[in-house]
Structure formats: C-alpha cells, structure tokens
Structure 1
Amino acid sequence: MARSSSPAPRLKRAPLWRRRLVLLAQLGGGLALLALIALIVTVYVSEGQLPSFDELKSSPNGQMIRVHAADGTVIVSMGPSYGEWLPYDRIPAVMRDAMVSVEDRRFRSHPGVDPIGMVRSVQVRIERGRWMQGGSTITQQLARNIFLNSSKKFGRKVREGILALALERKFSKDQVLELYLNKVYFGGGAYGIDAASRKFFGHGADHLSLTEAAVIAGLVKAPSNYSPTADIDAARGRAGVVLKLMQQTGAITAAQAADAQVSQIAFVPEARQNSVRYFTDWALPQLELLIDETQRPLEVWTTLDLTMQRAADAAIRENAPKGAQGALVAMDRDGAVRAMVGGTDYVTSNYNRATQAQRQPGSAFKLFVYLAALEAGHKPEDQVVDEPVTIDGWSPRNDSRHNSGAMSLRTAFAYSVNTVAAKLGQEIGFSTIADMARRFGITTKVNTHPSMVLGSSEVRVIDMTRAFASVGNKGVAVTPYGITKVTASGETIYAQSVDTSHVLVAPYVAAEMTDLLQTTVNTGTGKAAQIGRPVAGKTGTTTSNKDGWFLGFSSGLTTGVWMGRDDAKPIAGLHGGTAPARAFAAFMKVAVANRPVEQFDTKVTLPEFELEPDQESYFGEADNGLFVDADGNPVDPGQAPPAQQGQRVDADGNPIETRPPPQSDTPPVEKKKGDGDKLDQAWLDRVLGRDGPRPAPSPTRAPADRQDSRPTQ
C-alpha cells in the first residue's frame, strides 16, 4: 500500500519593503564604490597634471604693472606686489602657527579636505540660517587661489576638493604651507607674507614678531576689512582674535598671549601719493586699447620727465591763488606728455583737472578765431577798426571801456581786443571757427553763438595745450600720448609710433599765428610769461575772474596752465597774465633749461602802440621792479598818493629805466572834437623818448593781464 507524502514546508520570504531596502543599500554601496573609484582616478589624474613645485612658485597671481618714467625710474607699481619667496625653514614659526591656528587647525591630520570641518560648517548653517564658515582647508584655499575663482557654486567646490586631495598627494604638508604663505592675498595688492610684511611693517617676513604674525594671519579672512591701511583698530582687534586661537591650539602659552601687546603694534604709514598719479591715472587706462595681454606682468615705459614733473608741481602749488586749484600739461612737439598736474594736492583730490575738467578758456580761444582769419587770407598787418559792434543783439566790450580805432590784427591780438575778435567771427563765420577748434583737437562741444569768439565754450586743458602745440609744430597735428613702450617677459608688445602726416593748416598760417602769439608775450597781456628766450603764447580770463589761462610754447615744448576754483566762484585778481603766466614761466625756466634756444620762423614785430624792438624787449625777464620815492625808499604802489612820483628799481635796488605801462590792453586815446578816436601822439612821443626827459612813472602799476570781459552766457 502506497504511502502518501506530505509537501515540503515553504521558506518564508522577507517582506517586500525589506528586500527593496537591501537592494537600495546594495545599489547605493555600488554607486559609492564607483564614486570612490572615480574620485581616486580623478585625483590621480589631477595629480599627474599638476605643475611642479618650482612651476607653482614662479606663477604669479594677477597681473602686475610697473610704470617707468622717461629715464627708466619706476614711478609706480600697479596691481599685485610680491616680496621675496621664503622657503619653509625661513618662515618664522609664529607665522606658520598663526596661520594654521586661524585658518585650518587640523591641517597636519587631514588629507586635503577636512570632513569634520565640513560637518561643522553645515551644522552652523542649519543653526544660524546662513553660511558662517566655509569649511575650506588651507590646501583647498591654495587650490582655489591658484587654479579656480571665488565662485560659490557647488561644481567649483567639488573641483576645489579634488585639487586639494591631488595637491596633498603630490606635495608634503610643509610644501603646501610654503606655497600658501607665499601666494595668498593679504590686501593692498600684497601677495605673500613677505610683501604684506614689507607693506605694513617695513621689513621682511623672516623677522616677524608674534603680534605682527597675528595681524597678517588675520587678514586672510577679509583683507579689505582688516587691512591696517583701511582700519588700524580693526586690524588690531582681529590680531587679538588670532592670538586667542593660537592659545587654544597650544601654539602659544597663556603667558605669551597675555604679554603680546596688540595695541603697541607699529605700522608703516601709507606711502603719500604725489602728482605723478595724475599722469598715471590718465595714461594707464589707454593700455586696454593698445594691448590685449592680461596675464603676464607688464613693464610700461612712459614719456614722463621727472624733473619737469617736479617743476610743474611746484609751479602750480606756489602760484595758485589761495582757495584755487590749478592744472598744467606740458608736451613735446611730437605729442609726448612730459609733465601733468591735475590739482594742488593728489591726496586731497585725485580729480584730474588737466584731463577731466571742462572750463571756459576766455580769450585763449581767440587762437582759433585768428587761425581761421589767417587761413581765410588775412595778414598780421591787416588793418581793422576797433569800434562798437552789435551782432545778433550781443555787444562785446573791451576791458578799457573805450575803442581805439584803426589798428593791425597784430595789435588787436596782442592786447586781446574783443570787438575785433567779434568782427572777425562775423566776417569769417562762427561755424568756421568752431570747425577750426575741432580740427585742432577740441573734443568738447563748441557752440556757434557770437560770444564763442571770447571763449564761451568749455574746453579741457589737455585739448587746448594740444592745439597750441600743433601751431608750434608748424601746423602739423600733435596727438598727446604718455606710453612709449610696453614689454612682457622681455618681449616688446607695443611701441609708440608718431604720425606726422596730418597737416591742419598751411605752414605759413602757423608761422603767422606764431608771429601773433609771440607779440602777446613780448609786449601784450602775457609779459609775465617771459623766460629769457623766445616764447609764443596767449592769456585767457573769463567773466568775474573765474578762470585764468596761459598757454604757450618755447624750444619745442608747449605748456598749458589753468587756475580757478572747482565751484567756479570768482577769484579776486586772477587773470591769465598773472598767476597762470607766472606759473608757466616758473615751470618753463626749468623745463627748457637744457634745451637749445630756438628762434621762430617769423621775427617778432611789435604792435603800433609799443614800438621798441630792442633786445631787452624781446629776451628780457618779466618786469618785477619795485617803486621807490625820491629818497630811494620803497613805496607801496597801492597806498602811494598820486603826487608821490618815484623811480623803479630792480631786485638789487638799482634804478631801472622803463616807460609807464599802459593801464589796459588797448592804447590811450585822446578825444578831440571833430577828430573822432585818434591815437594820443603825445603819449607815443613819450613812449618813444621823443619829447626830452621822461616823466617819472606813477606808483600805480598796471596789472600784468586784463580781464577778457564778456557777458555771461
């Protein structure tokens, strides 16, 4: 009889959720293993691609620019600065310990990435609602500084971690720390502890004290906030925090921390900026147009003449009226800017009035009026009539408040006669004059109202100087430039070339204009600009003495000077022929001292009202004589009574003979019934010495310059 068999008992299967959990764990483990393998492979690949230690030592952070004057002197360094590279064993232990304590206290134990630090960073983020700690190790910071940027994206953090692991595999801890301390940014353009030590303490980093090391270590977190040059108290406070951290990590004892006198840390004062920065602020932005090198350190060679720059700075400082500013630009006949001053003090105000400020030029603008007239066929000897004139409701007046009748263009220009300039503008066309100004390099807007002939359009000093330089260059365009050569790694990547092919006016027009300009200096409103050699120039004064100008050239150098207040308020006694002309003379005497005397193409011819073409009139110094009474005692010209006639003496007290200067830019006129406006023949006879003994001059002296008056537009 067959026996029945019972079925074998079935194994009880695990619940579905548990099976899925196991599967998920296996999958996760597999993915983690793959990720770990990928990480290891990536680290190994990255390690193989890393530069060598020596290559990393030589690679710069950012682009450094050193600017040289014309003689090769380094006048300013821009961008990052680097001190001496200090090997690990020359870095003071207090500096190494301070940096490790404040930036990465587990530096010696982690493989480049600190998991504990990362967890702590996340925990603080959860507790405080924002990121307070980055969790980056010193090695990660080094990787970021050398290879990456400061983006806070997740992908950048991953690459940073991989590179940190690769760096620690390739280099020892000591090498990583050496790289870090010599390359990290400490603010103020200083990279590395040696550059920072020299900037803030005036000595190399191999002599750092405990407190000094604490200051430098504290800068890494926020260089701009804790920099001693920005906030000394903040720098000292941060150093105190570093000292406490060093005590906590055992780098220093409690006694050492207590003995450290943070309040006694001595800092080197910030180097005082001087007027050279006006020039570099103008010249260096041009690099973007000249070159496309953005990585290698640059050596920039400029046109700046340091002797001229010092003379320019002194001329503006010593001659600018109290409360006024001044600007000066000097350029050679090829356009090379040799000196530039944009104000009386760069530290107080770095606003460059030589290149940025737009001010009315007054009668200095008549350069373009007379250039247009000469190009249209007029000659310096042409006769014009100084008489009342009204143009479109505008009636210009002369400073003397009267008109002198017929005169030559030379006389009208020398004495800056406004009515003649207005008549020339009406004849030639105001738009023609505006075109002439733009042709000669005026880049600001030029209006075509009748009053434009007296300088109602605002201009820049550098543009006006350029225009006068083009006249002095025989009508060939002069383009100002400040950079002659740029080199990178010893390779010349830019060299200036001067274009002399652009002719603005015919040479004879430029020569005739120079003829008029030298007359102004020799006997007109610009006599204070005489320097003992031929000078051609023009004064300019605006309404209510708000602006004073003098622009001129001699021995191949053209200089423009402006003075006035930034708020355009009037300045008592400011005329183009006073302070600006004196500043011009003070500068030019130094600037052209070693240059040969150059004669102009046209010999100086004096205007009708001052016919005394002797050597002294042409080459003599500006008249700075004093008044004395009959007994030889000095007389104050402002207080002497009219009856107190005296003789003038030079600086040594010797009597000097000279005619009485005219009281304005226009000659005296004697009004007689039926004769109209005629020259006073008796006055001319006295001036020319035709009437016997010359009467002693009145103690009241004429001003060196006149106000080129015109209605305010």
Structure 2
Amino acid sequence: MQDWLFKRGRRERVIDWLSLDSKIDSTIAESWERFRDVWNAGTSFFSRFKITGWKRLLNEAASEGLSLGAGGFVVMYALAIPAFHEFNEGKFLTGQFAVKFLDQNGNEIGKRGILHNDAVPLDEIPDAMVKAALATEDRRFFEHWGIDVYGTFRALATNLQANEVVQGGSSITQQVAKNLFLSSERSFQRKIKEAFLALLLESRFSKRDILKFYFDRAYMGGGAFGVEAAAQFYFGKSVRQINLAEAALLAGLFKAPTKYAPHVNLPASRARTNEVLNNLVEAGFYTAGQVHWARVHPAKTIETRNPNSPDWFLDWAFEEVQRIAAGRGAYVLTARTTVDLNMQKATDEALTQALRNYRGNRIGSGAIVLMETDGAVRAITGGPDYGESQFNRATHARRQPGSSFKIYVYAAALENGYTPTTSVRDASRSCGRWHPQNYGGSHGGGGRMPLWNALAKSLNTVAAELSFAVGRDKVIEMTQRVGITGIRKTCSMALGDYGISPLEHGGGLATFANGGKLAKPYAILDLVSSKGDLVYSRDRDEPEAPQVVERKVAEGLNWMMNKVVTEGTGQRAQLDFTNVAGKTGTSTGPKDAWFVGFTGKYVGVVWLGNDDNRPMSGGTTGGVFASPVWHSFMSVVHTDMNIPTIPGLQPHPVQVSEQQRIAAIHPEGAAAGPETQRTSSSLMSDQARDALRKTAAALRKAGGIAEPPPSTTPNSTGSTPGSPPPPPPNKRADGTVPADHRRATLGVAQPPLDGTPARAVP
C-alpha cells in the first residue's frame, strides 16, 4: 500500500518552509511599501499646514496654553470639590419657622426665624438702601460674575498703601456665600471655598436673588439678621420707611456690626455713616447736595437693645426647634428654653476676660458650654464676639480634645476589669511607626503606679496602652454610648486625635457626672403653637434617659477625675466649697487647650485656641490656661450650697460643715429633711422673712384681727421674731455680701440625685 507521505522512496514534506518564507518576505515588503506610501501622503498633506515665524510662535503659545489650561482645570476642579460639599439647598429655607424664645421662667429672651429673613420683598426695599449697600460693599455687583477681580486688586493696593486692612475685596456674592455656608475664620482654604461658592451662586440665581439673600442674611448687630429686622431694632419701623440717613447707617453695619452699631459706639457709627454717604457721591448715585441733608440730620435710634441676649444659645436652640418641630405642622412657635441669663453672662465674661489676659500667648478664640448633669444647657458662649462672627464654636467646631479624651479610654478600661488602684506601667507598645510619648518628649520611664495616678498625671503612654489592651473598638463603642460620634480607629486615638465639639464633649462628660445615664444636651422644654396648642413637651414626649454606663464604672471614673483636680494637672480648677472632677487636654502644636469638668450640679467645658488652627505659644496647656477659666465662671454660677454629691465621692467638708451648722440652728428643719431646710434657708432671706412678718402684722391690725401669740423659737439669725435682723457678716460698704461668704451661707448640701448614699472609691 502506497503511503501518501512518501514519494520516490522519500518522506514528502508536510510544511513547505521555502514557500512560507517567501510569503512572509513578500508580505513584509508590501506592507512597508504601503506604509511608506501612506506616510508620504500624510506628510505631503500636513506640509500644507506648516507655519514659520510669528505664526509658529503664536501656535506654540496656544498649544502650551491649552496644556496648562487643561492642567489648571484639573487643579481648580480639585479645589472646588470641598466648596461644592459645603453647598446645601436647605440653607435657603430658614424662613419656614418663626420662633419666640422664653427663658425657663417665661420671660422673652429673643426671636429667630422669618422675622429676619424675607419679610420685605426686594422691590419694597427703598432705593436709598440698595444704592448705599452697592456703593459701599460692591459697586460693580451687576457687572461681575461673582468675583470682582478689579475690585479685589483695588482693595489690595489700598491696603498695601495704608499698611493695614482698610478695604475689603469680597463681592456681595462672596459675602452671601460666607453668610450661608461658611464660618468667618480667616484662612486661605475658606477664601477658596468662598470664591467657588460665589461662582456657583451666580450660576444658580439671578443678581436680584443674590442681592435679596444679602439683605436678608447679613448680621446687623443686636441679634438682628437682615435689613428689615435691623430697621425694626434700631429705628422701630420697617425698612420700607427709612430715609437716606438711616439707610446709610444700616449700610455701614455690613462691614462690622459690633464696631459700628450706634448703641455700642455712636461716634464710630456716625463716622461710618459719613463714609457711606461719601461712597454714594463717589459712585455717582447721589450728588453732594442730595446727601448734605443726611449729614446734618443723622439717624436717630431707639433704645431697644437687649445687651444680655444669649445669641449663641438662641442660634443652637433654633436649630433644635427646627429638628423637633419638623413634620408637626406648626411653624409659628413659642419655645421655653433651659437658658439661665445670669449664667450666660458669667460664661461670656469669663471668656472675654481670658482672651484679653491671654493675648500674649497667641490665643484668639474660645468657647464655653455650661449644662446640668442631665444635659439641660444653661449657657453657651460660642466665640469671642458674636457681632464679628456668628460661627458657633461651642456647637459646630470639631477640635482635637487632646488628653481630655482619655476619660473615655479609662471608662472603657474600668468596664473591662481595671480598677482605680490597678497597677499600670508607664510604657506602651508601638503602633506601626507611631510611638506614644508623654508631655515633654519621654517615652515613659517604665515605673509602676496606680491607674488613678496615671490619669492625674495625664500620661500618654498609659492611655495608649490601655486602648491597645482593652481594644480601640471598645473605646469607640464607649464614646458612641455617651453620645459622641465620628471617632475613628487610629493608633493615637487615645490621645484625642479626632475632633469633638465642646457641646458633644460636655454631654459625654455629663453622663458620668450623673452616675451613668445618657445626658444628651437639650435646650427646649416645650413648644407652643400660635393657637396655644402644646406641640412638644420634653416631660411628655421624651423617654427616660437610659443607663448607658454602669454606675460603679461612673463612680470609679469620677473618683479618678477628682484626683486630677486635687493632685494632678487640673488643680487650678479647684473650688473651695464643693468637689470638682475633671480632665485637662492639650492637642499637638499646641493648637487646642481644654478643661472639662463638673460639680455635683453643673458640667462645664472650656476650649481655647484659634479659628485658623494656628498654634498657640509654646507651653500653653489646658491645665494652665483653660482650668482657670472654668474656675472663674463656676465660682459664680453656684449661688448656694444646694449641690448634690458627685457619684463616687464623699460630700465636701465645707458642705458637711454647713449642713451641721444649719442643723444646729434649725433642729426641727434638720428633722424635716433637706427639702425643708432648702426652703427655709435658700429660697427666702431672713430680711425678707422679717419684712413679711411686719406686713402681715400691719394687715391684721388694719382688719381688726388679733395678733397670734409671740413665738420664742429663735430664727436662723439667733433673734426672736419681730426683732430687727442683725447685719450679715463680712458686709461691704456698699451693702453687698462677698460671693464667697454668700455661697457658704445660703443653703445646705443635698444627697445624691438617686437618693443612694455617696461612697468613696478605694
């Protein structure tokens, strides 16, 4: 059988390699020739566009410009993303609610809502008001596209020439963007956001809409937002009725309402008004003769300002009202709040004085929160000057708490087997490349000490090791239970490397101050509609606070925090009439200084720093600078000795001594219990009680009623009823009694809130 693989006795080749090689060579040669033809054709075609000389130079410049423009677009888009995140449509809808606020006793303390929003349409705002604002703030408003480049360079040149900031470069649109979405911190990042938001506003709204936003949202001093509320506040009439002089005064307030408010500084206000009138002439809106009458007949203001308006508190309370009332169908409301105006004044004065004293330490800002141990907020000071910046640092600024965060780390440790006397070592393991070190730079000496002593000394190494040993997830879970959100799991989280607002920090601290029950900060006691219907009542609508931390854990932590104040870094916060528990805190830089602490009655939080995050002077710590501020207002807000005992501590010796003194004077009151004692000694003075007796006797005599038999029981002053009361000891020449003596004599100590006897932790 002849095999097809063989021919003439030889194997026939299956693949003809010579033929394949020939085909490959020919294909490559043909492809190359074809490519050369296409290349030559293309070259011939594009050679028609070859340019030389100035045309080529222009083309190269255009090409480079296009490349740089593309790169610049990418960079600008990256910078614009944070600004776009700030844009919130809800900011335009604040006119939905109109709220009148009362203090807890029913006295009106302020208003928020549509009163200072869109009460007057733009068409009804006088021409003088519109022109005065444009001439002073942004003459090219209807010409630019959100950013007045020419005006910015003009202001820069003017400021350089004067060697100080005398003229602003922000357009009206940029100011609207700042008022709606941003804080007033002076930083490059804020200016970038402001510029992009201005462009976004110009693309979304008309010039008339933006001008209306400006007239409605600008702060005009005295707690008034917008020109309508300002006209009512300063002149007692609608903005529709103001004249040129009054319009010029209002326009002068846009720059610095506190500085130029007529109630604050009348000469400065008059000078600023004349400057606005000059601007009207320079801009060509009025002639010199037309503004002359306004110069010789300046605006007359009425006295309606409430210097004690708790504006920081009201801003936050208004946010709370909107949250609570959402979906309830009522928009004109009266809200009874938790604020105490005397305490508000004390915190305001404490921060103002501190910033004045600490000016040399490069501390430019601060915030204070004061609340009761159940979360009822009594005072909020959100910054150094509400007129200059309405950004509420107490409620909205998230700053690094530093070592004050350690209270949550130690609380987690106490929940997981540690006790205040557990022996710990001044050392810690590393976490990646991070090595914890104590204040001053040491990495720990390795010595052993009880847990409470490590907290009192604020050792970073021990806190970091506790977070690793207990588990950082458990520390985060602890913060969430007490109402603090946003803490992230990092190596240095035990040292407070993530931001917390002072209000949130105060709520977390109050949870331990009351024995472990959740103390979410609140401002509203009840809401009543315009028809008189009770829309919301805290007692009715809010559930009982849950126990989120075991009482023994809270007691142990409180005992340790008391050691911080008596033997540790917070000694400047000690009060001589009651126990204090607290913790100091200082962030890296130092950029933040804190003291958070409480008595048996009040919780106080103090933060000091700078809005632009600039470091303070070296050596600035919470223990040295924030603790004295806390002490200054806490010494004032405790007006009597009716202070519960902190869970985990024994009553303060001064309180025990005062209770024994009252019991010796009023043995029947002592038997009746603390409530009776409190009524007889705290709520009414001896002078008032004697005056009431005399009035009752006079009424009986006038009505022919027989006098009751005289009592021989001595009163609290040691005299019999009817005899003139002796003058109080330590009385000053002006008739007042020193605060320290007043605190020591007005009341008595009270047992813990839950009625259980206080006990010390070993």
- Normalising by structure 1, report the TM-score: 0.53
1:288 equivalent in alignment to 2:332: no
Aligned to 2:574: 530
Q: In 2, distance between residues paired with 1:427 and 1:526?
A: 26
Whether the aligned pair in 2 keeps the contact of 1:471 and 1:510 (CA below 8 Å) is yes
Identity %: 32
Whether the aligned pair in 1 keeps the contact of 2:428 and 2:464 (CA below 8 Å) is no
After the TM superposition, which residues 247-258 of structure 1 pair with which residues of structure 2 at under 5 Å, given as runs?
none
Deviations 1:321-375 (A, max 9, x none): 2242111111112211101011111111111111111111111111111111000
Partner residue of 1:520 out of 547, 556, 564: 564
Aligned to 1:429: 471
Q: How big is the shift at 1:283?
A: 1.3
After the TM superposition, which residues 32-111 of structure 1 pair with which residues of structure 2 at under 5 Å, given as runs?
64-79=98-113
Aligned to 1:503: 547
Whether the aligned pair in 2 keeps the contact of 1:486 and 1:492 (CA below 8 Å) is yes
User: What secondary structure sits across from 1:456 in the alignment?
Assistant: coil
Aligned to 1:450: 491
1:306 equivalent in alignment to 2:341: yes
Q: In 1, distance between residues paired with 2:609 and 2:309?
A: 18
Q: How big is the shift at 1:423?
A: 1.6
Partner residue of 1:348 out of 388, 412, 416: 388
Aligned to 1:138: none
Counterparts in 2 of 1:200 and 1:384: CA distance versus 1, 3 Å: closer
Q: How big is the shift at 1:237?
A: 11
Counterparts in 2 of 1:64 and 1:280: CA distance versus 1, 3 Å: same
Amino acid at match of 1:461: P
User: What secondary structure sits across from 2:353 in the alignment?
Assistant: helix
Deviations 1:689-711 (A, max 9, x none): xxxxxxxxxxxxxxxxxxxxxxx
Q: In 2, distance between residues paired with 1:380 and 1:260?
A: 76
Q: How big is the shift at 1:235?
A: 9.5
User: What secondary structure sits across from 2:608 in the alignment?
Assistant: strand
Q: In 1, distance between residues paired with 2:113 and 2:474?
A: 47
Q: How big is the shift at 1:589?
A: 1.0
1:485 equivalent in alignment to 2:526: yes
Aligned to 1:44: none
User: What secondary structure sits across from 1:66 in the alignment?
Assistant: strand
User: What secondary structure sits across from 1:353 in the alignment?
Assistant: coil
Counterparts in 2 of 1:433 and 1:295: CA distance versus 1, 3 Å: closer
Whether the aligned pair in 1 keeps the contact of 2:233 and 2:305 (CA below 8 Å) is no
Q: How big is the shift at 1:475?
A: 0.7
User: What secondary structure sits across from 2:623 in the alignment?
Assistant: coil
Structure 2: tracts of 5 or more residues without a match: 1-94, 117-123, 129-224, 255-271, 282-289, 658-762
Amino acid at match of 2:461: T
Q: How many residues align?
A: 423
Counterparts in 2 of 1:298 and 1:372: CA distance versus 1, 3 Å: same
Amino acid at match of 2:512: V
Q: In 2, distance between residues paired with 1:600 and 1:507?
A: 12
Bigger CA radius of gyration: 1
Q: How big is the shift at 1:547?
A: 0.8
After the TM superposition, which residues 154-173 of structure 1 pair with which residues of structure 2 at under 5 Å, given as runs?
none
Partner residue of 1:201 out of 232, 235, 242: 235
Q: In 1, distance between residues paired with 2:500 and 2:292?
A: 62
Partner residue of 1:383 out of 401, 408, 423: 423
Whether the aligned pair in 1 keeps the contact of 2:249 and 2:299 (CA below 8 Å) is no
Counterparts in 2 of 1:615 and 1:304: CA distance versus 1, 3 Å: closer
Amino acid at match of 1:478: A
Aligned to 1:136: none
Deviations 1:505-526 (A, max 9, x none): 1111111111111110111111
Q: In 1, distance between residues paired with 2:479 and 2:348?
A: 29
Deviations 1:36-91 (A, max 9, x none): xxxxxxxxxxxxxxxxxxxxxxxxx9964321222333222335669xxxxxxxxx
Counterparts in 2 of 1:279 and 1:290: CA distance versus 1, 3 Å: same
Q: In 2, distance between residues paired with 1:296 and 1:420?
A: 52
Whether the aligned pair in 2 keeps the contact of 1:71 and 1:305 (CA below 8 Å) is no
Q: In 1, distance between residues paired with 2:292 and 2:581?
A: 70
Q: In 2, distance between residues paired with 1:500 and 1:293?
A: 22
Deviating more after overlay: 335-344 vs 280-289: 280-289
Q: How big is the shift at 1:189?
A: 3.5
Q: How big is the shift at 1:564?
A: 0.6
Partner residue of 1:546 out of 574, 591, 599: 591
User: What secondary structure sits across from 1:330 in the alignment?
Assistant: strand
Q: In 2, distance between residues paired with 1:213 and 1:265?
A: 18
Counterparts in 2 of 1:266 and 1:479: CA distance versus 1, 3 Å: same
Amino acid at match of 1:420: V
Aligned to 2:38: none
Aligned to 2:373: 333
Q: In 2, distance between residues paired with 1:229 and 1:267?
A: 15
Aligned to 2:64: none
User: What secondary structure sits across from 2:436 in the alignment?
Assistant: coil
Counterparts in 2 of 1:229 and 1:430: CA distance versus 1, 3 Å: closer
Aligned to 2:536: 494
Counterparts in 2 of 1:99 and 1:357: CA distance versus 1, 3 Å: closer
Aligned to 2:615: 570
Q: How big is the shift at 1:544?
A: 2.5
Name whichever structure is richer in helix by fraction. Answer: 2
User: What secondary structure sits across from 2:449 in the alignment?
Assistant: strand
Amino acid at match of 1:413: L
After the TM superposition, which residues 653-672 of structure 1 pair with which residues of structure 2 at under 5 Å, given as runs?
none
Counterparts in 2 of 1:585 and 1:261: CA distance versus 1, 3 Å: closer
Q: In 1, distance between residues paired with 2:600 and 2:472?
A: 33
Aligned to 1:188: 227
Q: In 2, distance between residues paired with 1:74 and 1:438?
A: 36
Amino acid at match of 1:588: M
Counterparts in 2 of 1:391 and 1:225: CA distance versus 1, 3 Å: same
Deviations 1:574-614 (A, max 9, x none): 21112211111111111122351332333479xxxxxxxx9
Aligned to 2:602: 557
User: What secondary structure sits across from 2:595 in the alignment?
Assistant: strand
User: What secondary structure sits across from 1:449 in the alignment?
Assistant: coil
Q: How big is the shift at 1:188?
A: 3.1
Q: How big is the shift at 1:426?
A: 1.4
Q: In 2, distance between residues paired with 1:462 and 1:599?
A: 23
Deviations 1:105-153 (A, max 9, x none): xxxxxxxxxxxxxxxxxxxxxxxxxxxxxxxxxxxxxxxxxxxxxxxxx
Partner residue of 2:635 out of 578, 589, 604: 589
Amino acid at match of 1:66: K
User: What secondary structure sits across from 1:189 in the alignment?
Assistant: helix
Whether the aligned pair in 2 keeps the contact of 1:515 and 1:604 (CA below 8 Å) is no
Q: How big is the shift at 1:549?
A: 0.6
Q: In 2, distance between residues paired with 1:396 and 1:235?
A: 58
Whether the aligned pair in 2 keeps the contact of 1:215 and 1:239 (CA below 8 Å) is no
Whether the aligned pair in 1 keeps the contact of 2:428 and 2:462 (CA below 8 Å) is no
Q: How big is the shift at 1:232?
A: 5.3
1:598 equivalent in alignment to 2:633: no
- Normalising by structure 2, report the TM-score: 0.50
Deviations 1:354-404 (A, max 9, x none): 111111111111111111100001111111111364233322122253526
Q: How big is the shift at 1:465?
A: 0.7
After the TM superposition, which residues 614-693 of structure 1 pair with which residues of structure 2 at under 5 Å, given as runs?
none
User: What secondary structure sits across from 2:575 in the alignment?
Assistant: coil
Q: In 2, distance between residues paired with 1:397 and 1:275?
A: 45
User: What secondary structure sits across from 1:513 in the alignment?
Assistant: helix
Amino acid at match of 2:503: I
Whether the aligned pair in 2 keeps the contact of 1:274 and 1:345 (CA below 8 Å) is no
User: What secondary structure sits across from 2:621 in the alignment?
Assistant: coil
Whether the aligned pair in 2 keeps the contact of 1:388 and 1:403 (CA below 8 Å) is no
- The alignment's C-alpha RMSD in Å is 4.2
